[in-house]
Every structure is written in C-alpha cells, then in structure tokens.
C-alpha cells in the first residue's frame, strides 16, 4: 500500500468540483442573460441607422447562443468559457469602436472585467484585461481608427478607472481562490485524520466503511475478484501485560509498518481495532491470496522487534476469503473472520 494512500480516496468536492460548478453557473448565466440583454438592446435599434451597432449586437447574441447550446454536447467547460471570454472581449472592442447608443459605450464596458475573471480564472483574465486595456488606449488615442468620438477627459478617466477596476478584481479573486483552496486543504486534512489510525498511521475502520467499501461498490471492475484477509497478532495481550502498553504500542507500529511495506501498492491494509488488521487484495483469487498472506506471515515471523534487553518475536494468524461480486462482500468478511478464528484455535501463526 502506498504511503499516500489517502490521495486515491480523499474527497476533493470542496475544491475542484465546487469551483467547477460555480464556473458553470456563471457561464450559463452570462450566455443566457447576455443573449436576452443583447437581443433586447438590439431590438431597440431595429429602425436605427446605426447598422454597425445593430449587427454587432445580433452577431454577439448568435455566438453566445451557439456556444452555450454546443456546451451541452461536449464536456469541455474551460474551452466554452474561453470562447465566451473571447467573444466578450471582441464585443467590447467593437462597442468601443462604434461608440454605442449616444456615444455611451465606455460606461457599458465596466461590468465585463469581472465576468472575464470568473470565466477564465484570475491569471488568464488578468492577461485578457490588460491586453484589452492596451487596445483601448491605442484606439482611443488614435481617434482616426474608430467611428466614435470621445472627449479627451472621458478617455483618460475611463482608462484610469478601468485599470483600477481590473487591479481591484484581480486582488479580490487572487485571495478568494487562495482562501478557497486553503479551506479545502484544511478540510481534507481533517478527513485524513478522521480516516487514519493515529497509532499505526494505517487506515481505520471509518475509512473502510465510508470510503473503501463505497468505492468497491461503485467500481467493481477495479476490485473483483477481491480477496479479504483478517489478521490478528498472536498473544498480544501477554505482550501488554508483560512489557507494558508503551511496548505494546511499539509492537503495533512495528507490525503495521511491516504489513504496509509487504503488500502491493494496489492493496489496502487497515487497523480495525486492538491487534486486528484487515487486508483487501484487489484482482486477487483465493489461491494467490493464501500465498500473499503466507508471505506476510513469514515476514512478520522473521522480523522480531528489538527491545532493550532482547528481541521480541512476533507472529500473527490470518483468515482468508474471496468475493467475486459486491453482493458477496458481507459474507466474505464474515468468512474471513471465521477462518481467522480457526487459525487461532489450531495453534496460531498460520493462514487458513
């Protein structure tokens, strides 16, 4: 079992999935609401002589509709968000170029930096906004290149205020993302603590019930045939009585380390209580499971723990059972427990 076993099972819901859902809602809102708003404004200019503004609005709405409808067919949210951000940026340039209704285009550009930050993330959105700011400045200070006519004071104040808006949103988004993932990391650390046996640093019973068994149920092809092995350290109570609980704890850590280092990276071993351990061997039949358990038994038997006065020899008994489907798992666990009892009743230090 890998030392970072929790990475395969930890719940990242509070980080990536939540952020993705937030982006999805913003994406759909921007596209649907944007379409409705743009079509509404375009309809106000049906009889207008400003064909440039009218066609800019209609073409933008058409692209947004096409983009959002296509997004239902493909699981490519980031690409469609990028497309939306790109068309918004082009729309902003066209709006500034044409001047909009009664030359008020500059006032309508302020909401869009925030939309870009939400859709594209703070890094890419910062690049988009700074490039746009540069293009705005170039067009505004080369009035012969655009159709609109803006007063000089409006140009300078717009560029300054737009830059301040971008900086403020960038700082806000940067620290929002950092705090979001920091809270997620804290939550994942707590999940790890709750699913880890603090003495042995192995998975615990809670991990088996809340993470492993549900994963087995959801992904049967990944696990079955599944071998289950129950192990119990022989005469552990005598170790505690003779040497004390501190030595008993050292024994548990020693055994847990041997078990963890002996099994495969795809296998799982958990401490389920006291001196009891539970192994799960995915894609393993009964015959192979017996051989693996026997190998673990021999490794433990040949690896005494060093005490101050002498070495303490340790052994363990093993009960093996195998499940071929998820419905058999409860009975398989029961069978492994019964086989462990047989192994202990027949003299211990053996695999049944």
Question: What's the CATH number where 295 sits?
Answer: 3.30.70.270
Backbone phi, then psi, for 164, in 5-degree steps?
-60, -40
Answer whether residue 352 is part of any domain.
no
Give per-residue pLDDT as tens, 85-102: 999 999 899 889 988 878
pLDDT tops 80 at residue 309: no
Which amino acids are annotated catalytic?
A: 275
End residue of a domain, out of 159, 189, 219: 189
Helices (H), the chain: 18-43, 51-71, 77-98, 105-108, 112-120, 122-140, 152-194, 205-207, 213-218, 220-223, 236-243, 245-262, 286-301, 329-345
Tell me, yes or no, whether 149 and 232 share the same domain: no
Query: What pLDDT, on the 0 to 100 scale, is given for residue 7?
Result: 73
Residue 208: DSSP 8-state: I
Q: Are both 94 and 242 inside the same structural domain?
A: no
In total, how many domains does the chain have? Answer: 2
For residues 106 and 248, state if they share a domain: no
What confidence score (pLDDT) does residue 172 get? 95
- End of a domain among 148, 164, 189? 189
Among 163, 189, 215, the domain boundary falls at 189
Q: Is residue 274 part of a domain?
A: yes
Q: pLDDT class for 57, splitting at 50, 70, 90?
A: confident
pLDDT at residue 15 greater than cutoff 60: no
For residues 103-128, give the mean pLDDT: 93
- Does any domain span residue 195? no
Which two three-digit tokens encode residue 62? 């058409």
Q: Which residues contact 169 (CB under 8 A, 6 or more apart)?
A: 113, 114, 117
Average pLDDT over residues 136-152: 93
**Residue 196 belongs to some domain of the structure:** no
Q: How confident is the model at residue 80 (pLDDT cuts 50, 70, 90)?
A: very high
Proportion of the chain above pLDDT 90, given as a percent? 67
pLDDT category, 37, cuts 50, 70, 90? Answer: confident
Mean pLDDT confidence for 246-263: 95
Per-residue pLDDT at 56 exceeds 60: yes
Output the pLDDT for position 3.
62
Same domain as 138, residue 219 = no
Domain match, 163 and 225 both: no
Residues 96, 11, single domain; the answer is: yes
Average pLDDT for 245-262: 94
Residue 50: predicted pLDDT: 66
Q: Would residue 199 count as lying in a domain?
A: no
What domain range includes position 330? 205-345
Residue 181 phi, psi (nearest 5): -75, -25
Q: Are residues 178 and 214 in the same domain?
A: no
Residue 150: inside a domain: yes
User: Do 180 and 213 have their domain in common?
Assistant: no
The more confidently predicted of residues 252 and 34 is 252
Q: What is the pLDDT of residue 10?
A: 66
* Lowest-confidence region among 10-24, 33-47, 53-67: 10-24
53-57, 157-161, 164-168: which has the minimum mean pLDDT? 53-57
Question: Do 232 and 334 sit in the same domain of this protein?
Answer: yes
What is the structure's pLDDT at 41? 76
Pick the closest to residue 260 from 239, 248, 277 (CA basis): 277
Is 314 a member of any domain? yes
Q: Answer whether residue 271 is part of any domain.
A: yes
Check residue 58 and give its pLDDT: 84
* Mean pLDDT of the chain, nearest integer: 90
Tell me the mean pLDDT in the region 94-113: 89
Burial of residue 209 (number of CB atoms within 10 Å: 0-12, 13-18, 19+): exposed
Measured in whole angstroms, how far is the alpha carbon of residue 225 from the centre of its chain? 28
């Amino acid at each position: 079992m890998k030392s970072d076993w929790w990475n395969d099972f930890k719940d990242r819901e509070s980080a990536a999935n939540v952020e993705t859902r937030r982006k999805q809602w913003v994406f759909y809102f921007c596209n649907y609401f944007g379409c409705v708003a743009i079509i509404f404004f375009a309809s106000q200019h049906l009889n207008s002589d400003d064909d440039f503004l009218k066609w800019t609005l209609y073409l933008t709405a058409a692209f947004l509709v096409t983009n959002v409808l296509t997004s239902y067919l493909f699981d490519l949210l980031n690409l469609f968000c990028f497309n939306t951000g790109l068309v918004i940026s082009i729309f902003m340039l066209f709006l500034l170029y044409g001047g909009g209704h009664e030359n008020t285009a500059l006032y309508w550009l302020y909401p869009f930096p925030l939309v870009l930050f939400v859709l594209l993330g703070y890094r890419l959105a910062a690049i988009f906004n700074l490039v746009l700011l540069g293009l705005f400045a170039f067009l505004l200070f080369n009035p012969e290149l655009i159709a609109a006519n803006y007063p000089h004071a409006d140009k300078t104040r717009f560029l300054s205020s737009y830059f301040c808006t971008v900086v403020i949103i960038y700082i806000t988004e940067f620290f929002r993302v950092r705090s979001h993932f920091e809270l997620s990391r804290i939550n994942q650390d707590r999940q790890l603590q709750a699913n880890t046996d603090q003495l042995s640093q192995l998975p615990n019973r809670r991990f088996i019930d809340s993470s492993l068994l549900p994963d087995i149920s959801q992904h049967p092809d990944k696990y079955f045939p599944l071998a289950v092995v129950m192990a119990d350290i022989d005469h552990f109570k005598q170790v505690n009585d003779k040497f004390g609980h501190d030595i008993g704890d050292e024994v548990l850590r020693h055994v847990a380390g041997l078990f963890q280092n002996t099994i495969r990276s795809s296998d799982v071993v958990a401490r389920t209580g006291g001196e009891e351990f539970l192994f799960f061997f995915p894609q393993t039949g009964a015959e192979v499971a017996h051989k693996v358990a026997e190998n673990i038994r021999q490794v433990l038997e040949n690896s005494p723990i060093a005490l101050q006065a002498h070495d303490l020899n340790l052994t363990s008994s093993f009960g093996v059972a195998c499940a071929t489907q998820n419905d058999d798992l409860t009975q398989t666990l029961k069978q492994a427990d019964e086989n462990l009892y047989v192994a202990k009743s027949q003299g211990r230090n053996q695999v049944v």
